[in-house]
Amino acid sequence: HQNRVFTREQLLEQVWGFDFFGDSRTVDVHIKRLREKLEGVSDKWCLKTVWGVGYKFEVKQ
């Protein structure tokens, strides 16, 4: 779903399910870890923060 913005709540529901007990900062921590692991793998895409909304997978042209 390139360039589509997902809210933290949408990601929580899709990844951990409706029964998840925790808070939306969990998503932030996992996004940070993904960025660290994927850093330098490719310069054609990235995980962008959409301030006040959530995150998106952005493909660079």
The full set of domains in the chain, from first to last, is 5-59 (1.10.10.10)
Buried b (16+ CB within 10 A) or exposed e, 19-50: eeeeeeeebeeebeeeeeeeeeeeeeeeeeee
Mind listing the pLDDT tens digit of every residue in the chain (61 residues)? 778 999 998 998 888 887 777 777 888 999 999 999 888 888 888 899 999 999 999 888 7
Question: What is the structure's pLDDT at 56?
Answer: 93
Q: Tokens 């933290």 sit at which residue?
A: 8
> Which residue type sits at 34?
L
Cα of 20 vs its chain's centroid, Å: 17
2 in Cβ contact with 58 (< 8 Å)? yes
Question: What is the structure's pLDDT at 30?
Answer: 92
